[in-house]
Chains A and B, each alone.
Chain A
Amino acid sequence: MNRRSRRGIALFTTLVLLTVLAMLVASFTSIHQKQLHLMQNDEHHQAAEEAARSALEYCQFRLERHRQWGSAEFDGAPKPDIATLQIEERTGTTRVDGKVLASGAEFRVRITNNISGTADVDGVPGGYCRLRVTASRGRSEVRREALLGTAPIFDGAVVASKNINIDAESLTISSTDPFRNRIRAKGNIEVPDYDGPFRFNPADSATETGLLWSQKGIRMGGKDLENPTHAQNAAEATGGRFLPRAATHHDVYDLQLEEVVNWGPVEADEQKVEVESGVYVFNRLETSHGDIPVLERRDWAIDPVSGEVTGDHVEEVWLVNDGLPTGATDGIAARYGIPENKVNRHDSNEFSLDTGVHVHFNSLNPYYGGTPEPPHIVLNSDVDLVANGDFGIMSASGNYDPVILFRDPITGEVGGKHSGTITALGSGEGKPGSIYLQGAIIGSGKLLAKGDVTIRNTFANVDSDGEDSDLSIYAGKNVTIRPQKQKWFDEETGTVDSSAEGHTAFRGLVFAGEDVLIEADKDVDPNVKDPANVRIEGAVVARDGNVTVQSGKDVNFIYNPLLLDSILARNTASRIRMELAVWREL
């Protein structure tokens, strides 16, 4: 081999080595690039997915504050600033363009808002809004469609932002909604044992048999459902779901008095009647010719020991002259220490307190005899009775219970579609705007108060199987329901209908800004337990407090969204809640 050929070997060897090295480097680079692409694609796809979700959340946020948003072309009206998003609502279109600032992913949303419609529009059912979202990042693009529906303002039979504590011999959680049969508490839930006294009663063909949702703990008959065995036993015994320590988001809607002052369908013939603030107390007044019945309007006062409304100084009196010698009523104003014009004398056992507000003394007035019946205050169902302060009805002796009756003024029908309203708005003179009613409550009525609502009901029911609300309660503060034993309403006749004792069954919404307390022990003697049945259809809500039932017998809470919709019909024009019905790929 000569010198020249030997030199060639070195070059050849070097070239081979360099080629091998180059191939290795190329392979590594190729693999890493492939991995990088895979990861980048995945990251971009993820970013596009998240952008689509951000678009959905933005649109939901806008719709919940303005139900007509996107139903007409945007006109350049101001939009909210969202720190994480760059948004443009395209003027002259129903399109929203946006960008997620953190990831750089972009989205475009086409809106078909048919929330206020009843018929199908462009494939979107009435009551729904469709969003068609295209989101992209790099070469990744996702196309999604969301269908948003209006959610019920309250989605359970019992809802509380603090605790729910139901002490009853039996508890049934029912619903007329096949998709929802739930009670919710942001605090603890304590209810009777799943092994017998507790049961779910869902609607026909229900997807959700029942659900107890709590952001803290759930105890059933003292058993902690954070224990998996108890949780499994509860699920097997009831068929329901139990979610202690739930981490999903839920807010209790902060219904305002202003939103519900005229709740329900607008009645053409509604009239507002203002009455003086105070407690209207049925009493007897001794005269030289014997006792006569009187109705006194007293200053609102609360017994500091019992916490019960008692009434203080008498401000105005109504009485019946008819059947009494003239002299029997003489000196009444002086005896009460009120001006003569504050003594209202009537010639009949039945008289008007104000427009659409009637008083019947019935057999409280012994001179009239007839069927023994307690005194009534009758409110026409076309009347919104408004007290610029407080409003209460009770008997002075506590030995009998008045009846508050809501009635159709024309047909005399009790219940039905129309309902009267009692509103206590409070006043700047320290009156909280509370309502206190003792006795039976009959008919379709609404009690709206800025402060507390307390009913010591011997009876609260009209037509629990009908289509209309019987009794709805809104209290800016607390709602207290105390079913009572029917008392001897008249000492002279001594008759009582024990079948209606403490009966509490009505359809409607019970909403408290703070707590709802149902003291179901009918007997006032704390040593004697006499539990009452409680059946409320609609929803019971404690916005910022607890729902407590004490000493209940058979307690049944029934969720009825259609009823709630009818009660809150006027309210839906302002704020609404939206929920995702369908999320699909296109």
Chain B
Amino acid sequence: MGARRGFTLIETIVACSLLLVVFGGVFYFFSVGARGFNLGLSQSQTLSDFQAFARLIKRDLELTHYYSVSTVMRTADTSRGTVDREGLSLAGLSDWGDDSRFEVATGLPKWDRWILFHANREDVGTLFRSELERRPVASGSYYPLRPRTAGDVLPLMIGDPAALPGILRSQTLTRNVHSFEVALDDGHQSVEVHLTTFADPGLRMTSQERDEEYKETRVVVVPLNSYPPI
């Protein structure tokens, strides 16, 4: 067996180049996979957030009376332009499972809550859901049921909802709110809610370009406790 010959320069260069291509390919694949993973995770989170938001707002709207629903128009000046950050007020009930929360003679709900959805005016906004007490009239009745005016609702849309007097409950539904719009459709007796969220731009899976991270969801609900139906 003769002495072993070393690698020639060319062999070394070819081997290194091949290794570079193979590892480059592996890393590219890994990087794309990682971006995809992050993107999927982010989308999954957004989907989950939207579903939670949609289920909550659908529940509140489906159980309310159309006559109690009102909207407050408001905009916010953000780094991405002027956007709608509106308010949605509706009547609710403290406990749908409690029979004492319904009128004895008619079986109708004793609307003892005001529910407010609103997005604040921060550059990247936050969407809140707040509950306030709705008191009966002097006779003890929770009727007539009329919507709250903008004058009633606007003061509740300023600052931290949890710190407002009279707030029974306040929760943050989603952050990264870009716009929150509400439209009442009297013709169909339905309420349409449109939420757009915004997140820092993320890299695309297969390029160095960044995508604008706007995601939107639209919910249309017919309030079912609108007695008597129109």
- The smallest C-beta distance from B131 to any residue of chain A, in angstroms, reads 16
| Chain B residues within an 8 Å CB radius of A123 | 99
Q: Contact at A211–B107, with CB atoms within 8 Å?
A: no
Interface: B227 (CB within 8 A): yes
Interface check A246, CB cutoff 8 A: yes
| Listed stretches A20-28, A193-201, A394-402, A467-475; interface member | A20-28
- Give the nearest-CB partner of B99 in chain A: A123
Question: For A213, what are the chain B residues with a Cβ–Cβ distance below 8 Å?
Answer: 230
Query: Would you call B228 and A586 a contact (CB within 8 A)?
Result: no
Partner of B187, one of A246, A580, A582, A586: A246
> Is A221 close to B, CB under 8 A?
no
A125 touching B228 in the complex, CB below 8 Å, given contacts A24-B30, A31-B37, A178-B143: no
Query: Per DSSP, are chain A's interface residues mostly helix, strand or loop, or mixed?
Result: mixed
**In chain A, residues 32-79, which have Cβ atoms closer than 8 Å to a Cβ of chain B?**
32, 34-35, 38-39, 42, 45
B40 touches A35 (CB 8 A): yes
Q: Mark B88-105, 1 if CB is under 8 A from A, else 0.
A: 000000001101001011
8 Å CB interface, B30-89 against A: 30, 33, 36-37, 40-41, 43-44, 47-48, 51, 55, 59, 62-63, 67
| Inter-chain contacts of B59 with A (CB < 8 A) | 585
List the B residue with the shortest CB-CB distance to A126: B105
Q: Which residue of B lies closest to A184 (CB)?
A: B230
Chain A positions 184 through 211: 1 when the CB is less than 8 Å from some CB of chain B, otherwise 0:
0000000000000000000001111001
**B55 partner residues in chain A, CB cutoff 8 A:** 45
Whether the pair B228, A205 counts as a contact (CB closer than 8 A) is no
Closest to B190 in A: A247
Residues of A within 8 A of B99 (CB): 123
- Taking a contact as CB atoms under 8 Å apart, the answer to whether B137 and A579 are in contact is no
Does chain B have a CB within 8 A of A584? yes
- A132 contacts the other chain (Cβ, under 8 Å)? no
CA distance A149 to B137 in the complex (A): 25
Q: Which of B33, B96, B107, B228 lies in contact with A179, CB distance below 8 A?
A: B228
Q: B135-170 interface mask toward A, CB cutoff 8 Å, 1 = contact, 0 = none?
A: 001010101111000000000000000000000000
**Interchain CA distance A128-B108 in the complex, whole Å:** 11
CB distance from B186 to the nearest CB of A (A): 5
Contact with B along A128-155 (1 / 0, CB 8 A): 1000000000000000000101010001
Contact A579–B228 (Cβ < 8 Å)? yes
Q: Which residues of the partner chain A approach B141 to less than 8 Å between Cβ atoms?
A: 205
Q: B97 contacts which of A149, A205, A245, A585 (Cβ < 8 Å)?
A: A585
A583 touching B224 by the CB < 8 A rule? yes
Which residue of the partner chain B has the closest CB to A250? Answer: B230
A328 within 8 A of B: no
- The reply to whether the CB of A121 lies closer than 8 angstroms to some CB of chain B is no
Specify which of A28, A147, A207 is in contact with B107 (CB 8 Å cutoff): A147
In the complex, chain A residues whose CB is within 8 Å of the CB of B104: 120, 125
- Contact of A28 with B230 in the complex, beta carbons under 8 Å: no
- Residues of chain B within 8 A of A20, CB atoms compared: 26, 30
Considering the chains assembled together, what is the distance between the CA atoms of A244 and B188 in angstroms? 11
A582–B146 alpha-carbon span in the complex (Å): 18
Contact (Cβ within 8 A) B227 A580: yes
Q: For the complex, give the distance between the alpha carbons of A293 and B96 in Å.
A: 74
Write out the residue numbers on chain B whose beta carbons fall within 8 Å of the beta carbon of A477: none
**Known contacts A207-B67, A213-B230; is-contact A248 B44 (Cβ 8 Å):** no
A246 to B225, CA, bound (A): 19
Give every chain B residue within 8 A of A45 (Cβ-Cβ).
55
A383 to B37, CA, bound (A): 86
A contact residues around B174 at 8 Å (CB): none
For B44, the chain A residues whose CB sits under 8 A away are 31, 34-35, 38
B230 in contact with A243 (CB, 8 Å): yes
Interface contact A580-B229, CB-CB below 8 Å: yes
Q: Which of A273-301 contact B (CB under 8 A)?
A: none
Residues of B with C-beta under 8 A to A149: 106-107
Expressed in whole angstroms, the Cα–Cα distance for A245 and B186 within the complex equals 9
For A205, the chain B residues whose CB sits under 8 A away are: 137, 139, 141, 143-144
- Given A155-B228, A208-B67, A247-B187, answer yes or no on A582-B40 (Cβ-Cβ < 8 Å): no
- Complex interface bits, A224-267 against B, C-beta within 8 A gives 1, otherwise 0: 00000000000000000101111110000000000000000000
Cβ of A17 under 8 Å from chain B = yes
Question: 5 smallest A-B Cβ distances: which pairs?
Answer: A583-B224, A31-B40, A207-B144, A24-B33, A247-B187
A residues contacting B by CB (< 8 A) are: 17, 20, 24, 27-28, 31-32, 34-35, 38-39, 42, 45, 120, 123-125, 128, 147, 149, 151, 155, 178-180, 182, 205-208, 211, 213, 241, 243-248, 579-586
